[in-house]
Amino acid sequence: DTGVSQNPRHKITKRGQNVTFRCDPISEHNRLYWYRQTLGQGPEFLTYFQNEAQLEKSRLLSDRFSAERPKGSFSTLEIQRTEQGDSAMYLCASSLFGLGGELFFGEGSRLTVL
C-alpha cells in the first residue's frame, strides 16, 4: 500500500454536469476525510467518515454534494449540477487515530467548471 489514492487527478466539466471523485485510503485507516482547497488557501473541511458511517458534514456541503463510503474502504464524492464556484482541489485524507492523529493526504482531484 503506497498511500492515499485519488482519481481522477484532473476533471474539466461544463456547468450543470455531475462529477464524481474517488478516494482509496490507506487500507488499515478507519477514518476518511474530504477537504476542499482553493489556490493558495488552506483546506476547508467538508465531511468525514469513521468506517462506513458519515459522522459530520460541513455547512459548506450543499445539497448538491454527497459523499459515501459504502463498505468502509473507498469513498466517493459526487457533485451534482456543478457551478463555477465548485472549481477547486478536492483533497481526501485518511487516518488511523482520531483527534490529533496525523492525516495522510492524497494528491487531490482538481475540478475546473467551465
Partner 1 sequence: TQLLEQSPQFLSIQEGENLTVYCNSSSVFSSLQWYRQEPGEGPVLLVTVVTGGEVKKLKRLTFQFGDARKDSSLHITAAQPGDTGLYLCAGANTDKLIFGTGTRLQVFP
Binding test (CB under 8 A) with partner 1, winner from 26, 45, 74, 87:
45
The H or E element spanning position 5 is: strand 5-7
35 binds partner 1 (CB under 8 A): yes
In the complex with partner 1, the residue whose CB is nearer, 50 or 80, is 50
CA dihedral 89, 92, 98, 99 (to 10 degrees): -10
CA dihedral 87, 83, 60, 109 (to 10 degrees): -30
Q: Minimal distance in Å, beta carbon 68 to partner 1?
A: 18
Size of the site for partner 1 (CB under 8 A): 25
In the complex with partner 1, the residue whose CB is nearer, 10 or 81, is 10
